[in-house]
Structure 1
Amino acid sequence: MQSFKVTSKEANLRLDKFLALELEQVLSRSAVQRLIDEKKVTVGGKIQKASYKVQAGDFIEVEIPPRPVYEITAEKLPLKIYFEDEEVILLEKPAGMVSHPAVGHWTGTLVNALLYHFGLEKADEENFRLGLVHRLDKNTSGLLLVAKTMTAHSQLQKQLKDRTLKRRYQAISWGHLKGKKGLIDLPLGRSPADRKKVVVTKEHSRPAMTEYEVLESFSFSQLLQIALRTGRTHQIRAHLSHLGHPVFGDPEYGGRDKALGGIKGEYRQQAAWALELIERQALHAFYLSFVHPVTKEKLDFFSELPDDFQALLNYLRTLEK
């Protein structure tokens, strides 16, 4: 049972929307709706409809059924490994691969591949202790660090929190950002309109900071180097989209047809051809640095741009000649 007390700022929200915001890390809005329909939600001890407008001081209780435990099966999938020992493994996740199994993605993930690599046939979802130190979006490629022991995972998580574990990305964005360098310091939270996306908002949000540096500028785009001060879901994609310069090729955050519609004159056809070179967001985690949890040695790794990203970059460069 989970309980919530409505604040004055949250007053007059629909009950289903209020709970969807409060439980965004646990349940989808449709799942919240089902709990309300099944009378698993009470307001002041009484059953209310999803359309009920919550009031300041309302005490809301939600009975959330236990989530079923799924079995993760090993799969023989190719892995590009940069470093591995008894404590950690550093590898490159290709675009199109989900990092960790979840609803709708129980096979073909990085974790399925790692199980096979470690010689395990399968693992219980709850008891599987392979520790992804961080994650990358499905269609973001690049370096990803995995802890092989609980001690290593704890120490690397601390490095991530203390920002001593460094991650840098390269991205191609639409348009031209202001200045050669900049810091985007805007809070991010789930979009009320689409729970799969995040947006800049002050409501139910968390601080998010993204540093960028312009490496090259083209007629209708730029090559950026990006460093994260925080690690929010979709952070780079949401921040750049909010500024009106979405990541090139990103369909969820306005980086394909919507951005192309804003290109005028001679550059429109060139931009359309450029989009044909990449089917996903042009975002790659090219650099990762951390202190080894046992040896205490500082390790630095670089990853080359994937073929689709490099082909796009080469094309943009030829347009400038």
Structure 2
Amino acid sequence: MDDYTPELPDDDNDLHEHHSFTVEKGQKPLRIDKYLMNFVENATRTKIQAAAKNGGIYVNDEPVKSNYKVKPFDKIRVLFEHPPYEELLVGEDIDIDVVYEDDQLLVVNKPAGMVVHPGHGNYSGTLINALIYRFENLPNNSSNRPGLVHRIDKDTSGLLVVAKTEHAMNHLSLQFAQKTSEREYVAIAWGNIEEEEGTVEGNIGRHPKNRLQNTVFLGDESDKGKPAVTHYKVIERLGYVTLVSCKLETGRTHQIRVHMKHIGHTLFNDERYGGEKILKGTTFTKYKQFVENCFKILPRQALHAKTLGFEHPTTGEFMRFDTEIPEDMQLCIEKWRNYARHQEME
């Protein structure tokens, strides 16, 4: 899909463009409100229909109603009344768990559920809102996001380094780009991963049919997306799931989630990639109830950014930080551990 940004009509003063793209050539006719459900983050069908009613959905520069059927090569723009995130950076007094801080940087342990930066559907309560309340003049990264050297997904918990100076931003960003930083995640993945360790390589890019997902491009399409490498190692086998360590060599959006799904081991309760369904196990009602209980205990993808290492931008010292696996994930691991133990005894 190509990005497409035409001039806004004069009467769009109260509307702000959030999304623009061109429909794929193989797209079958489909109502635009249904089509956009796969392309607009955090948007319900009601919200999309309201945008259409307010004249906020354009196809080929013409406003359309929500029952418009999309066709191949249609150029779509979606406008909402809220401005994009960069116009909404307001400091908010939100508690953050600071693991380490000095005059150059800080390391934060982000809880699951906290969005890192504002975006459509998440205009407040983000880590950036908390940071700009606490610190003045944070340096912008290449995407104009104050302090952010890297990011982790909303429902992933764990460690992030934040730059407080331009020097730290440049130095740390270069380490991430040159793959000299260390990032280790712990995940619960569906299925028994047979190999003790391995590496997943495959370009990652936007899924052609679902813009909210990323996917691995191989074969004839291997020139699409961006190179991505994930190294994994089994920590513990828990029957129908596996506790695994994943080390990132690159940092693509949803990288671990996409790579683990690609090798047939979708992350446990990863709703966006289908992990909220029972992917492995038995058909017994009792087992189904057990898994449902696990989903309730851990109502998010089972992924935690556990270890972070980098060279300090001024002292040159290599610093490594480690966090405990959060309680929701620990409880889920315990449940699977007990289940696996009982299975062995039967």
Task: Give the deviation of 1:267 after TM superposition.
Answer: 4.1
Q: Distance in 2 between matches of 1:282 and 1:124?
A: 30
Q: Distance in 2 between matches of 1:125 and 1:73?
A: 17
Task: Give the deviation of 1:309 after TM superposition.
Answer: 0.5
Q: Secondary structure at the match of 2:208?
A: coil
Which residue of 1 is the match for residue 315 of structure 2? 295
Number of equivalenced pairs: 284
CA 1:282–1:264 in structure 2 vs 1: closer, same or farther (change >3 Å)? same
CA 1:320–1:102 in structure 2 vs 1: closer, same or farther (change >3 Å)? same
Q: Distance in 1 between matches of 2:297 and 2:226?
A: 35
Q: Percent identity?
A: 37
Structure 1 unpaired stretches of 5+:
4-13, 19-26, 40-49, 55-59
Which residue of 2 is the match for residue 220 of structure 1? 240
Q: Distance in 1 between matches of 2:140 and 2:88?
A: 5
Contact preservation (8 Å) 2:115, 2:126: yes
Matched residue type, 1:130: P
Q: Distance in 2 between matches of 1:216 and 1:232?
A: 26
Q: TM-score if structure 1 supplies the norm length? A: 0.77
Choose the corresponding residue for 2:225, options 193, 196, 205.
205
Which residue of 2 is the match for residue 80 of structure 1? 97
Task: Give the deviation of 1:129 after TM superposition.
Answer: 6.1
Structure 2 unpaired stretches of 5+:
5-20, 26-38, 42-47, 63-69, 78-82, 342-346
Greater CA deviation, 82-91 or 237-246?
237-246
Matched, 1:95 2:109: no
CA 1:263–1:158 in structure 2 vs 1: closer, same or farther (change >3 Å)? farther
Matched, 1:312 2:339: no
Matched residue type, 1:307: E
Contact preservation (8 Å) 1:130, 1:149: no
CA 1:151–1:263 in structure 2 vs 1: closer, same or farther (change >3 Å)? farther
Which residue of 2 is the match for residue 118 of structure 1? 135
1:266-290 residue CA offsets vs partner (Å, 9 max, x unmatched): 6444323322211001100010011
Matched residue type, 2:94: L
Choose the corresponding residue for 1:283, options 299, 303, 320.
303
Q: Secondary structure at the match of 1:288?
A: strand
1:183-227 residue CA offsets vs partner (Å, 9 max, x unmatched): 011221111221011012244312111110001001111100110
Task: Give the deviation of 1:110 after TM superposition.
Answer: 0.1
Q: Distance in 2 between matches of 1:129 and 1:255?
A: 30
Which residue of 2 is the match for residue 242 of structure 1? 262
Matched residue type, 1:159: Q
Q: Distance in 1 between matches of 2:147 and 2:141?
A: 12
Matched residue type, 2:60: D
CA 1:185–1:125 in structure 2 vs 1: closer, same or farther (change >3 Å)? closer
Q: Distance in 1 between matches of 2:140 and 2:242?
A: 44
Residue correspondence of structure 1 range 16-165 to structure 2 within 5 A: 16-17=23-24, 37-38=60-61, 51=71, 70-118=87-135, 130-165=146-181
When the two chains are superposed, the root-mean-square deviation of aligned CA atoms in Å is: 3.6
